[in-house]
Amino acid sequence: MKRLWKMIRRLSGDDAYERYLAHCRIAHPDRTPMSRKAFFIAEQERKWNGVRRCC
Amino acid sequence: MKKLLWLGISILGAASLGEIALARGEAINSLWLVAAALCVYALAYRFYALWIAAKVLVTDSTRATPAERFDNGLDFTPTNKWVTFGHHFAAIAGPGPLVGPTLAAQFGYLPGTLWILIGAVLGGCVQDMVILFFSTRRDGRSLGQMARDELGPLGGAAALVGTLAIMVILISVLGLVVVNALKHSPWGTSTVMATIPIAILVGLHMRHFRPGKVLEGSLIGVALLLLAVASGGWIDHHGLRTLFDFDGNTLVWLVIGYGFLAAILPVWLLLAPRDYLSTYMKLGTVAALALAILVMHPEIKMPALTRFVDGTGPIFAGKLFPFVFITIACGAISGFHSLISSGTTPKLLANERDIPMIGYGGMLLESFVAIMAMVAATVLDPGVFFAINSPPGVVGQGIEAAATISSWGFPVSMEKMQALASEMGEKTLFARTGGAPSLAVGMASIFGNAFGNGLLAIWYHFAIMFEAVFILTTLDAGTRVGRFMLQDLLGNLHKPLGRTSWYPSVLVTSAAIVASWGYFLYIGVIDPNGGVNLLWPLFGIANQMLAAIALSVATGILIKSGKLKYAWVSGMPLAWLSFITTSAAWEKITSPDIRIGFFSAADHFAEQLSLGKLPPEKAAIAPKLIFNMQLDGALTLFFVAVLWIVIFEMLRVSWKKAIGLPVPPVSESPHIPSRLVEDWVRD
């Protein structure tokens, strides 16, 4: 049940910010990560920068 | 034991295929189609996809993927294979596999079904998988970049121009589907219009109120969408219906205005939240449809083959060969997928060993969606199916249409159509071309049988909303991508034009893209034979052209890396595609039949106009139609030229390689061992 919930959150991108924070802690401990809001906006812009949907 | 299982699957598959291919004169059950499809998919995956992965591509599970090497916690992230599969499938599956089979059902259920199955397992799935593999081995580079690196600048330019052209045609034909579905349908129109403020609300929720809470926002949005479907019925029954009752021309302008706004507004406000909603709608509805077909297993009422294999079909003109292969692109083989398989999905892929499952498997699932669309189209009474899908220019209006269609041996009456229309909550269902309304009637009758018949009108409008929502997502996402590509091109001429955040450039390039597809959409709506006959073949040719470009790149890479003996894996579908695309284009250019040949149609109109034989309302638009026919003919020529340029580039490079001349080097990135702890990513 817990795994399914984790999977759904992962699939929908609900946990994207938490994953980003985890990544920052490991890869760039010296930098301050973006806020939740800033991260969300930056992510949306990046995602829709290329072909994301087909016919 | 395992061998026995596969033997059983083979026997069941062969029996089902035999049943659907040989049954004549009696109705067959849709379960046979489903069983045949599932068996073919299982066998193809086990014995072809895994063989290609092991012997042809030689996937290497110890090799670090781009997702691992460039992991930045954003776009490059090693991701669980099921999650990657979900993202990949959500990206490749659009409205195409629903519309194409519906239109191709005019030939009967058999030709389309066989092409969906064979085309997918030997063509489409292979394309998606090999492109995914080659892009993964090239740092997740896009198809255009790979074409340039591997085949040279001409191949790269052809891929770029081809992509831009297919985007424009795709958006216009999808826009046409929406316009035809909403024409004089206040319920449908109000529901689809309501999706815009709902998406904006969800966007604000995710951006301001509860930043990043995607699931929560989407759930609220989906609930509101369902409410909008139900309240559309209320609007329809009360005085408000005239507010949402539009003719085709008005809807064209509304769609164009929407496309422009969506392209210039910030993505978080409209585009992104609408995509969340449409993705959930899509996955949910496809799953519900599969369940309903399994539970209800309705009988198929369409014959295996109809008389229209001779090319006289009312929905679109042209013989079975080559037009069934052009009409069903998505669902069998879709060039567009190569843009997702390169550039997008490789950045998530955690391990090369997942490539068959994601690349090949993702396309198998899309092919299954196409089979379900075929079922939904063919469970309708053929008379009803043709009455909904035939344009008035071919069969006449109302009573006349019913008489014409009945005279073909597909009985249908005015009363029956009226009763059906009022059941579905529509004023009329005659000549609702484009595939969406007939699919919605098919889905409503399947859902109605499975989950209660009293709600037919709600099911119908739910299906219309579901199709319109993700068509509009494709429309605004496509406009945006087209804008980026155009800005990229113009940036070479004048630097500031290339800056994606410089507003004057954003406005100009967005307007240019919207104007291009808006033009074709407008012409499609005023065309007397129904724009589907005009635009859908053009879209099919463009999509197959893009597939041929992708397969050329793949074949070129195989040959260059010394795997000539396996080059047939991508070479065989490439040969078939170039054959059917060229044949179809040849007919569209040279055919003397005015419903098929673009140039003969232009000449015919010009002659009629000069003789003064056209009624005044037709004479007024005739010059536009004549110009457009010539433009479409020229565009077809252009597509074929691009196709053959890429094929010749590939052959030239391969020939040089064979006789030992220098060729552009294979651009594969070096082998770096994977350091991911298996269980960590793959849990």
Mean predicted confidence (pLDDT) in B648-659 = 94
Residues of B in contact with A36 (CB under 8 A): 211-212
Helix (H) or strand (E) holding B223: helix B214-237
Whether the per-residue pLDDT at B138 is higher than 70: the answer is yes
A52–B170: do the CB atoms touch at under 8 Å? no
A40–B207: do the CB atoms touch at under 8 Å? yes
Q: Does B622 touch chain A (CB under 8 A)?
A: no
Confidence at residue B649, expressed as pLDDT on a 0 to 100 scale: 94
Numbered residues of chain A with Cβ closer than 8 Å to any chain B Cβ: 7-14, 16-17, 19-20, 22-24, 27, 36-37, 39-41, 43-55
Summarize pLDDT for B283-338 with one digit per residue, the tens: 999 999 999 999 999 999 999 999 999 999 999 999 999 999 999 999 999 999 99
The answer to whether the beta carbons of residues B80 and A7 sit under 8 Å apart is yes
Tokens 């969906």 locate to B116
Report d(CA A23, CA B281) in Å as an integer: 31
3-state secondary structure of B63: strand
Question: Tokens representing B227?
Answer: 């409410």
Structure-model confidence comparison of residues B147 and B679, the more confident one: B147
Confidence at residue B501, expressed as pLDDT on a 0 to 100 scale: 79
B207–A22: do the CB atoms touch at under 8 Å? no
Nearest CA of chain B to the CA of A47: how many Å? 8
Residue of B nearest to A3 (CA): B683
Enter the ipTM.
0.93
Report d(CA B447, CA B458) in Å as an integer: 10
Confidence at residue B458, expressed as pLDDT on a 0 to 100 scale: 92
Whether the per-residue pLDDT at B682 is higher than 70: the answer is no
Whole-structure pTM value: 0.95
Interface mutation vs chain A, best among B68, B72, B74, most A CBs within 10 Å = B74
Interface mutation vs chain A, best among B103, B171, B214, B679, most A CBs within 10 Å = B214
Q: Does B214 touch chain A (CB under 8 A)?
A: yes
Report d(CA B299, CA B60) in Å as an integer: 46
A23–B340: do the CB atoms touch at under 8 Å? no
- B605 within a domain of the structure (yes/no): yes
Nearest CA of chain B to the CA of A42: how many Å? 9
Residue of A nearest to B337 (CA): A54
Report d(CA B462, CA B460) in Å as an integer: 5
Summarize pLDDT for B356-370 with one digit per residue, the tens: 999 999 999 999 999
Question: Tokens representing B263?
Answer: 């392209």
Summarize pLDDT for B528-571 with one digit per residue, the tens: 787 898 999 999 999 999 999 999 999 999 999 999 999 999 99
How would residue B615 be classed by pLDDT, with cut points 50, 70 and 90?
confident
Q: Does B336 touch chain A (CB under 8 A)?
A: yes
Please name the member of B82, B330, B480 whose beta carbon is closest to the beta carbon of A48: B480
Cβ count within 10 A of residue B294 = 12
Please name the member of B211, B215, B218 whose beta carbon is closest to the beta carbon of A36: B211
Summarize pLDDT for B201-217 with one digit per residue, the tens: 999 999 999 998 999 99
> How many Å is the maximal CA-CA distance in chain A?
43
B212–A55: do the CB atoms touch at under 8 Å? no
Counting residues of chain B whose pLDDT is more than 90, the rounded percentage is 79
Q: Does B543 touch chain A (CB under 8 A)?
A: yes
Report d(CA B151, CA B160) in Å as an integer: 13
Mean predicted confidence (pLDDT) in B29-52 = 96
CATH number of the domain bearing residue B353: 1.20.1740.10
The answer to whether the beta carbons of residues A7 and B79 sit under 8 Å apart is no
The answer to whether the beta carbons of residues B654 and B556 sit under 8 Å apart is yes
Summarize pLDDT for B78-126 with one digit per residue, the tens: 999 999 999 999 999 989 999 999 999 999 999 999 999 999 999 999 9
- B214 within a domain of the structure (yes/no): no
* Extents of the domains making up chain A: 2-47
The answer to whether the beta carbons of residues B237 and B479 sit under 8 Å apart is no
User: In B, residues 365-394, which contact A (CB 8 Å cutoff)?
Assistant: none
Please name the member of A43, A53, A55 whose beta carbon is closest to the beta carbon of B74: A43
Residues of B in contact with A25 (CB under 8 A): none
* Residue among B116, B68, B76, B94 nearest B467 (CA): B94
Residues of B in contact with A17 (CB under 8 A): 212
How would residue B679 be classed by pLDDT, with cut points 50, 70 and 90?
very low
Residues of B in contact with A22 (CB under 8 A): 73
Q: Does B74 touch chain A (CB under 8 A)?
A: yes
Nearest CA of chain B to the CA of A30: how many Å? 15
Cβ-Cβ pairs closer than 8 A, A with B, add up to: 116
A51–B481: do the CB atoms touch at under 8 Å? yes
Nearest CA of chain A to the CA of B573: how many Å? 20
Please name the member of B92, B213, B484 whose beta carbon is closest to the beta carbon of A49: B484
Residue B562: exposed, middle, or buried by beta-carbon count in 10 A (0-12, 13-18, 19+)? exposed
Residues of B in contact with A51 (CB under 8 A): 339-340, 343-344, 481
Whether the per-residue pLDDT at B452 is higher than 80: the answer is no
Question: How many domains does one find in chain B?
Answer: 1
DSSP B189-203: HHHHHHHHHHHHHHH
Confidence at residue B677, expressed as pLDDT on a 0 to 100 scale: 59
Residues of A in contact with B344 (CB under 8 A): 50-52
How would residue A13 be classed by pLDDT, with cut points 50, 70 and 90?
confident
Boundaries of domain holding B352: 2-64+98-184+246-661
Which residues have a Cβ under 8 Å from the Cβ of A32 and sit 6 or more positions away?
A: none
Please name the member of B215, B344, B481 whose beta carbon is closest to the beta carbon of A9: B215
Q: Is B334 left (phi over 0), alpha (psi -120 to 50) or beta?
A: beta
Residues of B in contact with A29 (CB under 8 A): none
A44–B275: do the CB atoms touch at under 8 Å? no
